[in-house]
Structure 1
Protein backbone atom coordinates (compact mmCIF):
# COMPACT_ATOMS: atom_id res chain seq x y z
CA UNK A 1 0.00 0.00 0.00
CA UNK A 2 1.36 3.39 -1.02
CA UNK A 3 1.57 5.93 1.79
CA UNK A 4 2.46 9.59 2.05
CA UNK A 5 5.86 8.88 3.55
CA UNK A 6 6.90 7.18 0.32
CA UNK A 7 6.02 10.33 -1.60
CA UNK A 8 7.87 12.54 0.89
CA UNK A 9 10.97 10.37 0.61
CA UNK A 10 10.78 10.41 -3.18
CA UNK A 11 10.50 14.21 -3.25
CA UNK A 12 13.42 14.61 -0.84
CA UNK A 13 15.59 12.40 -3.08
CA UNK A 14 14.49 14.41 -6.10
CA UNK A 15 15.29 17.70 -4.36
CA UNK A 16 18.74 16.33 -3.53
CA UNK A 17 19.42 15.74 -7.23
CA UNK A 18 17.96 12.30 -7.84
CA UNK A 19 15.39 11.32 -10.48
CA UNK A 20 11.83 12.59 -10.19
CA UNK A 21 9.96 9.74 -11.83
CA UNK A 22 9.05 8.02 -8.55
CA UNK A 23 7.64 11.23 -7.04
CA UNK A 24 5.50 11.85 -10.11
CA UNK A 25 4.14 8.31 -10.16
CA UNK A 26 3.35 8.37 -6.44
CA UNK A 27 1.59 11.73 -6.74
CA UNK A 28 -0.76 10.22 -9.31
CA UNK A 29 -1.34 7.03 -7.32
CA UNK A 30 -2.06 9.02 -4.15
CA UNK A 31 -4.40 11.42 -5.93
CA UNK A 32 -2.44 14.42 -4.69
CA UNK A 33 -3.71 17.91 -5.46
CA UNK A 34 -2.00 20.06 -2.81
CA UNK A 35 1.36 20.12 -1.01
CA UNK A 36 1.83 22.06 2.24
CA UNK A 37 5.46 23.22 2.36
CA UNK A 38 6.87 23.65 5.87
CA UNK A 39 10.32 24.67 7.02
CA UNK A 40 11.01 21.85 9.46
CA UNK A 41 9.81 18.73 11.19
CA UNK A 42 8.47 20.58 14.24
CA UNK A 43 6.10 22.48 11.94
CA UNK A 44 5.13 19.17 10.35
CA UNK A 45 4.35 17.68 13.78
CA UNK A 46 2.19 20.69 14.67
CA UNK A 47 0.20 20.61 11.43
CA UNK A 48 -0.39 16.87 11.69
CA UNK A 49 -1.46 17.25 15.33
CA UNK A 50 -4.01 19.92 14.44
CA UNK A 51 -5.31 17.80 11.57
CA UNK A 52 -5.90 14.96 14.04
CA UNK A 53 -7.66 17.31 16.49
CA UNK A 54 -9.97 18.51 13.75
CA UNK A 55 -10.65 15.04 12.40
CA UNK A 56 -9.02 15.84 9.07
CA UNK A 57 -7.45 13.00 7.08
CA UNK A 58 -5.31 15.17 4.86
CA UNK A 59 -3.90 12.28 2.84
CA UNK A 60 -7.38 11.13 1.85
CA UNK A 61 -8.14 14.72 0.84
CA UNK A 62 -5.18 14.69 -1.55
CA UNK A 63 -3.00 16.87 0.67
CA UNK A 64 0.63 16.11 1.50
CA UNK A 65 2.31 17.96 4.38
CA UNK A 66 6.03 18.13 3.65
CA UNK A 67 9.06 19.36 5.60
CA UNK A 68 11.69 20.97 3.36
CA UNK A 69 14.51 20.84 5.91
CA UNK A 70 14.99 24.62 5.90
CA UNK A 71 13.40 27.76 4.52
CA UNK A 72 16.09 28.23 1.88
CA UNK A 73 14.83 25.12 0.09
CA UNK A 74 11.46 26.63 -0.82
CA UNK A 75 12.52 27.62 -4.34
CA UNK A 76 13.78 24.14 -5.14
CA UNK A 77 10.64 22.41 -3.82
CA UNK A 78 8.38 24.92 -5.55
CA UNK A 79 10.16 24.26 -8.87
CA UNK A 80 9.72 20.51 -8.50
CA UNK A 81 6.15 20.43 -7.22
CA UNK A 82 4.55 23.58 -8.65
CA UNK A 83 3.53 24.66 -12.18
CA UNK A 84 6.82 23.75 -13.87
CA UNK A 85 7.07 20.41 -12.06
CA UNK A 86 4.25 18.14 -10.93
CA UNK A 87 1.66 20.91 -11.26
CA UNK A 88 0.39 20.63 -7.69
CA UNK A 89 -1.14 23.48 -5.73
CA UNK A 90 1.34 24.77 -3.14
CA UNK A 91 0.63 26.38 0.21
CA UNK A 92 2.36 26.49 3.58
CA UNK A 93 3.77 28.57 6.41
CA UNK A 94 6.72 30.91 6.53
CA UNK A 95 8.37 33.12 9.15
CA UNK A 96 8.10 36.89 8.81
CA UNK A 97 11.86 37.39 8.59
CA UNK A 98 11.97 35.07 5.55
CA UNK A 99 8.81 36.34 3.82
CA UNK A 100 10.67 38.37 1.18
CA UNK A 101 12.83 35.38 0.30
CA UNK A 102 9.71 33.20 -0.04
CA UNK A 103 8.03 35.84 -2.21
CA UNK A 104 10.99 35.96 -4.62
CA UNK A 105 11.53 32.20 -4.74
CA UNK A 106 7.85 31.42 -5.26
CA UNK A 107 7.49 34.10 -7.93
CA UNK A 108 10.41 32.59 -9.87
CA UNK A 109 8.67 29.21 -9.69
CA UNK A 110 5.38 30.66 -10.93
CA UNK A 111 3.65 30.15 -7.57
CA UNK A 112 1.53 32.75 -5.78
CA UNK A 113 2.93 33.64 -2.38
CA UNK A 114 -0.62 34.50 -1.30
CA UNK A 115 -1.16 30.88 -0.35
CA UNK A 116 1.57 31.02 2.29
CA UNK A 117 0.66 32.17 5.79
CA UNK A 118 3.12 34.18 7.87
CA UNK A 119 4.21 33.54 11.46
CA UNK A 120 5.68 36.56 13.25
CA UNK A 121 8.78 34.77 14.58
CA UNK A 122 8.04 31.12 13.91
CA UNK A 123 5.28 28.60 14.60
CA UNK A 124 6.62 27.74 18.07
CA UNK A 125 6.38 31.41 19.03
CA UNK A 126 2.81 31.55 17.72
CA UNK A 127 1.87 28.49 19.80
CA UNK A 128 3.53 29.80 22.96
CA UNK A 129 1.69 33.11 22.69
CA UNK A 130 -1.59 31.32 21.94
CA UNK A 131 -1.37 29.07 25.03
CA UNK A 132 0.29 31.57 27.34
CA UNK A 133 3.63 31.09 29.06
CA UNK A 134 2.14 29.62 32.26
CA UNK A 135 0.39 26.85 30.32
CA UNK A 136 3.53 26.06 28.34
CA UNK A 137 5.53 25.77 31.56
CA UNK A 138 2.89 23.35 32.87
CA UNK A 139 3.42 21.21 29.77
CA UNK A 140 7.19 21.31 30.26
CA UNK A 141 6.72 20.15 33.86
CA UNK A 142 4.34 17.36 32.82
CA UNK A 143 6.84 16.15 30.22
CA UNK A 144 9.60 15.79 32.81
CA UNK A 145 11.66 18.70 31.42
CA UNK A 146 11.35 20.97 34.47
CA UNK A 147 14.92 20.45 35.67
CA UNK A 148 16.32 21.20 32.20
CA UNK A 149 14.11 24.30 31.99
CA UNK A 150 15.28 25.58 35.38
CA UNK A 151 18.92 25.01 34.42
CA UNK A 152 18.34 26.87 31.17
CA UNK A 153 16.83 29.86 33.01
CA UNK A 154 19.98 30.22 35.12
CA UNK A 155 22.07 30.97 32.03
CA UNK A 156 23.15 34.65 32.05
CA UNK A 157 21.99 35.15 28.46
CA UNK A 158 18.40 34.38 29.50
CA UNK A 159 18.09 36.74 32.46
CA UNK A 160 16.73 39.77 30.60
CA UNK A 161 14.67 37.98 27.97
CA UNK A 162 10.85 37.98 28.11
CA UNK A 163 9.39 34.65 29.21
CA UNK A 164 7.94 33.74 25.80
CA UNK A 165 11.36 34.28 24.19
CA UNK A 166 13.00 32.11 26.85
CA UNK A 167 10.50 29.35 26.16
CA UNK A 168 11.00 29.58 22.41
CA UNK A 169 14.77 29.38 22.81
CA UNK A 170 14.50 26.46 25.26
CA UNK A 171 12.55 24.38 22.74
CA UNK A 172 15.48 24.59 20.33
CA UNK A 173 18.27 23.68 22.77
CA UNK A 174 18.06 19.90 22.45
CA UNK A 175 17.79 17.80 19.33
CA UNK A 176 14.26 16.52 18.84
CA UNK A 177 12.69 18.78 21.48
CA UNK A 178 11.12 21.18 18.97
CA UNK A 179 9.57 18.27 17.09
CA UNK A 180 8.12 16.76 20.28
CA UNK A 181 6.73 20.08 21.47
CA UNK A 182 5.36 20.85 18.03
CA UNK A 183 2.76 18.22 18.84
CA UNK A 184 2.48 18.91 22.59
CA UNK A 185 1.73 22.61 22.14
CA UNK A 186 -1.05 21.92 19.65
CA UNK A 187 -2.91 19.21 21.57
CA UNK A 188 -4.22 21.52 24.38
CA UNK A 189 -5.39 24.30 22.03
CA UNK A 190 -9.05 25.21 22.12
CA UNK A 191 -10.62 26.17 18.76
CA UNK A 192 -10.33 29.85 19.64
CA UNK A 193 -6.63 29.56 20.56
CA UNK A 194 -5.34 28.23 17.24
CA UNK A 195 -2.82 30.80 15.93
CA UNK A 196 -4.10 32.75 12.93
CA UNK A 197 -1.49 31.51 10.39
CA UNK A 198 -2.21 27.88 11.27
CA UNK A 199 -5.98 28.41 11.29
CA UNK A 200 -5.84 30.19 7.92
CA UNK A 201 -3.70 27.42 6.46
CA UNK A 202 -6.31 24.82 7.39
CA UNK A 203 -9.14 26.98 6.10
CA UNK A 204 -7.38 27.03 2.73
CA UNK A 205 -7.10 23.24 2.44
Structure 2
Protein backbone atom coordinates (compact mmCIF):
# COMPACT_ATOMS: atom_id res chain seq x y z
CA UNK A 1 0.00 0.00 0.00
CA UNK A 2 1.24 3.46 -0.77
CA UNK A 3 0.48 6.01 1.91
CA UNK A 4 1.63 9.53 2.62
CA UNK A 5 2.47 10.83 6.10
CA UNK A 6 -0.35 10.89 8.59
CA UNK A 7 -2.73 8.53 6.85
CA UNK A 8 -5.36 6.53 8.64
CA UNK A 9 -6.39 3.12 7.37
CA UNK A 10 -9.58 1.55 8.68
CA UNK A 11 -9.61 -2.21 8.19
CA UNK A 12 -13.02 -3.86 7.87
CA UNK A 13 -14.06 -7.34 6.80
CA UNK A 14 -16.10 -6.63 3.67
CA UNK A 15 -17.51 -3.99 1.37
CA UNK A 16 -20.81 -3.67 3.27
CA UNK A 17 -18.85 -2.81 6.42
CA UNK A 18 -16.81 -0.30 4.42
CA UNK A 19 -19.84 1.58 3.06
CA UNK A 20 -21.21 2.01 6.58
CA UNK A 21 -17.90 3.28 7.98
CA UNK A 22 -17.42 5.59 4.99
CA UNK A 23 -20.92 7.06 5.41
CA UNK A 24 -20.38 7.69 9.12
CA UNK A 25 -16.94 9.20 8.56
CA UNK A 26 -18.28 11.49 5.85
CA UNK A 27 -21.17 12.53 8.11
CA UNK A 28 -18.52 13.69 10.59
CA UNK A 29 -16.72 15.75 7.96
CA UNK A 30 -14.02 13.26 6.98
CA UNK A 31 -13.24 12.79 3.31
CA UNK A 32 -12.67 9.10 2.62
CA UNK A 33 -11.74 9.81 -1.00
CA UNK A 34 -8.73 12.09 -0.44
CA UNK A 35 -6.34 9.32 0.64
CA UNK A 36 -5.82 10.66 4.17
CA UNK A 37 -8.52 8.36 5.56
CA UNK A 38 -8.96 5.10 3.72
CA UNK A 39 -11.46 2.40 4.53
CA UNK A 40 -10.15 -0.95 3.33
CA UNK A 41 -12.46 -3.91 2.82
CA UNK A 42 -10.08 -6.80 3.45
CA UNK A 43 -12.13 -9.46 1.67
CA UNK A 44 -12.62 -11.41 4.88
CA UNK A 45 -11.31 -11.37 8.41
CA UNK A 46 -8.59 -13.94 7.75
CA UNK A 47 -6.73 -11.26 5.77
CA UNK A 48 -6.26 -9.06 8.84
CA UNK A 49 -2.72 -10.24 9.58
CA UNK A 50 -1.48 -9.42 6.07
CA UNK A 51 -3.01 -5.95 6.22
CA UNK A 52 -1.62 -5.25 9.70
CA UNK A 53 1.81 -6.45 8.59
CA UNK A 54 1.77 -3.91 5.75
CA UNK A 55 0.68 -1.17 8.14
CA UNK A 56 3.43 -2.09 10.64
CA UNK A 57 6.05 -1.52 7.92
CA UNK A 58 4.71 1.99 7.32
CA UNK A 59 5.29 4.06 10.44
CA UNK A 60 3.31 7.03 9.07
CA UNK A 61 0.08 5.02 8.86
CA UNK A 62 -2.30 4.65 11.77
CA UNK A 63 -4.37 1.47 11.47
CA UNK A 64 -7.79 1.04 13.06
CA UNK A 65 -10.37 -1.65 12.53
CA UNK A 66 -13.80 -3.17 13.01
CA UNK A 67 -14.78 -6.82 13.21
CA UNK A 68 -17.71 -9.01 14.15
CA UNK A 69 -17.71 -10.80 17.52
CA UNK A 70 -17.33 -14.29 16.01
CA UNK A 71 -14.15 -13.11 14.26
CA UNK A 72 -12.65 -11.27 17.25
CA UNK A 73 -10.13 -14.06 17.84
CA UNK A 74 -8.65 -13.48 14.37
CA UNK A 75 -8.16 -9.80 15.14
CA UNK A 76 -6.63 -10.54 18.55
CA UNK A 77 -4.18 -13.06 17.11
CA UNK A 78 -3.21 -10.79 14.21
CA UNK A 79 -2.68 -7.83 16.53
CA UNK A 80 -0.48 -9.98 18.77
CA UNK A 81 1.50 -11.37 15.84
CA UNK A 82 2.19 -7.86 14.52
CA UNK A 83 3.64 -6.57 17.78
CA UNK A 84 0.56 -5.31 19.56
CA UNK A 85 0.30 -7.25 22.87
CA UNK A 86 -3.45 -7.36 23.43
CA UNK A 87 -5.56 -10.03 25.09
CA UNK A 88 -8.90 -8.32 25.71
CA UNK A 89 -11.55 -6.39 23.81
CA UNK A 90 -10.78 -3.33 25.95
CA UNK A 91 -7.11 -3.47 24.95
CA UNK A 92 -8.13 -3.82 21.31
CA UNK A 93 -10.34 -0.73 21.64
CA UNK A 94 -7.46 1.22 23.16
CA UNK A 95 -5.57 0.55 19.92
CA UNK A 96 -8.56 1.53 17.77
CA UNK A 97 -9.97 -1.92 16.97
CA UNK A 98 -13.64 -2.38 17.78
CA UNK A 99 -16.00 -5.35 17.86
CA UNK A 100 -19.64 -5.48 16.75
CA UNK A 101 -21.81 -7.39 19.24
CA UNK A 102 -22.87 -10.07 16.75
CA UNK A 103 -22.06 -8.45 13.43
CA UNK A 104 -22.58 -5.14 11.67
CA UNK A 105 -26.03 -6.09 10.37
CA UNK A 106 -27.17 -6.92 13.89
CA UNK A 107 -25.84 -3.57 15.14
CA UNK A 108 -27.76 -1.71 12.42
CA UNK A 109 -30.96 -3.69 13.08
CA UNK A 110 -30.84 -2.97 16.80
CA UNK A 111 -29.95 0.69 16.27
CA UNK A 112 -32.62 1.51 13.70
CA UNK A 113 -35.29 -1.08 14.47
CA UNK A 114 -37.09 -3.58 12.27
CA UNK A 115 -39.49 -0.98 10.85
CA UNK A 116 -36.64 1.06 9.40
CA UNK A 117 -35.06 -2.05 7.91
CA UNK A 118 -38.36 -3.12 6.34
CA UNK A 119 -38.79 0.40 4.94
CA UNK A 120 -35.29 0.24 3.46
CA UNK A 121 -36.08 -3.16 1.93
CA UNK A 122 -39.22 -1.64 0.43
CA UNK A 123 -37.24 1.28 -1.01
CA UNK A 124 -34.81 -1.20 -2.56
CA UNK A 125 -37.63 -3.28 -4.04
CA UNK A 126 -36.91 -6.30 -1.82
CA UNK A 127 -39.89 -6.26 0.55
CA UNK A 128 -41.98 -8.76 -1.40
CA UNK A 129 -39.01 -11.15 -1.47
CA UNK A 130 -38.66 -10.69 2.27
CA UNK A 131 -42.34 -11.53 2.79
CA UNK A 132 -41.84 -14.72 0.77
CA UNK A 133 -38.75 -15.52 2.85
CA UNK A 134 -40.77 -15.05 6.05
CA UNK A 135 -43.22 -17.72 4.92
CA UNK A 136 -40.54 -20.38 4.49
CA UNK A 137 -41.07 -23.14 7.08
CA UNK A 138 -37.63 -22.76 8.67
CA UNK A 139 -38.12 -18.99 9.17
CA UNK A 140 -41.88 -18.72 9.74
CA UNK A 141 -41.77 -18.89 13.55
CA UNK A 142 -38.59 -16.89 14.09
CA UNK A 143 -38.39 -13.39 15.53
CA UNK A 144 -38.66 -10.54 13.03
CA UNK A 145 -35.16 -9.40 14.02
CA UNK A 146 -33.72 -12.83 13.16
CA UNK A 147 -35.63 -12.98 9.87
CA UNK A 148 -34.38 -9.55 8.83
CA UNK A 149 -30.84 -10.36 9.90
CA UNK A 150 -30.75 -13.53 7.81
CA UNK A 151 -32.47 -11.97 4.81
CA UNK A 152 -30.11 -8.97 4.85
CA UNK A 153 -27.13 -11.28 4.50
CA UNK A 154 -28.52 -13.35 1.65
CA UNK A 155 -29.00 -12.53 -1.99
CA UNK A 156 -26.53 -11.06 -4.43
CA UNK A 157 -25.80 -7.42 -3.65
CA UNK A 158 -28.54 -7.11 -1.05
CA UNK A 159 -26.21 -6.85 1.94
CA UNK A 160 -24.24 -4.00 0.37
CA UNK A 161 -27.29 -2.08 -0.85
CA UNK A 162 -29.08 -2.43 2.48
CA UNK A 163 -26.00 -1.47 4.51
CA UNK A 164 -25.54 1.65 2.41
CA UNK A 165 -29.20 2.63 2.80
CA UNK A 166 -29.23 2.02 6.57
CA UNK A 167 -25.94 3.84 7.14
CA UNK A 168 -27.45 7.04 5.76
CA UNK A 169 -30.24 6.79 8.35
CA UNK A 170 -27.91 6.68 11.36
CA UNK A 171 -27.67 9.74 13.55
CA UNK A 172 -25.22 10.43 16.38
CA UNK A 173 -27.90 9.15 18.79
CA UNK A 174 -28.55 5.92 16.87
CA UNK A 175 -25.02 5.05 15.76
CA UNK A 176 -24.00 1.75 17.39
CA UNK A 177 -21.25 2.09 19.95
CA UNK A 178 -18.49 0.19 18.08
CA UNK A 179 -19.06 2.33 14.99
CA UNK A 180 -19.22 5.58 16.98
CA UNK A 181 -15.99 4.71 18.80
CA UNK A 182 -14.28 3.77 15.54
CA UNK A 183 -15.20 7.08 13.91
CA UNK A 184 -14.05 8.96 17.02
CA UNK A 185 -10.76 7.08 16.76
CA UNK A 186 -10.39 8.14 13.14
CA UNK A 187 -11.14 11.75 14.05
CA UNK A 188 -8.52 11.65 16.82
CA UNK A 189 -5.94 10.14 14.51
CA UNK A 190 -6.31 12.86 11.84
CA UNK A 191 -6.31 15.81 14.24
Q: TM-score range by the shorter chain?
A: 0.7 to 0.9
* Residues 1:175 and 2:175 aligned together: no
CA contact (8 A) 1:118 1:197 kept: yes
- After TM superposition, the score normalised by the length of structure 2 is 0.86
Residue 130 of structure 1 aligns to a residue whose secondary structure is helix
Structure 1 residue 100: Cα displacement: 2.0
Greater relative CO (CA pairs within 8 A, separation 6+): 2
CA contact (8 A) 1:158 1:166 kept: yes
CA contact (8 A) 1:44 1:67 kept: yes
CA contact (8 A) 1:45 1:180 kept: no
Q: Number of residue pairs matched?
A: 177
1:113-156 CA-partner distances (Å, limit 9, x unpaired): 33211101111110111000111111111221111111111111
CA contact (8 A) 2:30 2:37 kept: no
Distance (whole Å) between structure 2 residues aligned to residue 161 and residue 72 of structure 1? 31
* Residues 1:92 and 2:65 aligned together: yes
- After TM superposition, the score normalised by the length of structure 1 is 0.80
The corresponding residue for 2:26 is 52
Report the CA distance shift for 1:165/1:32 in structure 2 as closer, same or farther (over 3 A): farther
Distance (whole Å) between structure 2 residues aligned to residue 41 and residue 60 of structure 1? 18
Matches within 5 A, 1:6-85: 23=1, 26-28=2-4, 31-60=5-34, 62-82=36-56, 85=57
Unaligned 5+ segments in structure 1 are 1-22
Unaligned 5+ segments in structure 2 are 87-91, 187-191
CA contact (8 A) 1:32 1:63 kept: no
Match of 2:107 among 95, 120, 126: 126
CA contact (8 A) 1:133 1:164 kept: yes
Structure 1 stretches of 4+ with a deviation exceeding 4 A read none
Match of 1:162 among 143, 154, 166: 143
Structure 1 residue 91: Cα displacement: 0.8
Note the aligned Cα RMSD (angstroms): 1.7
CA contact (8 A) 2:26 2:32 kept: no
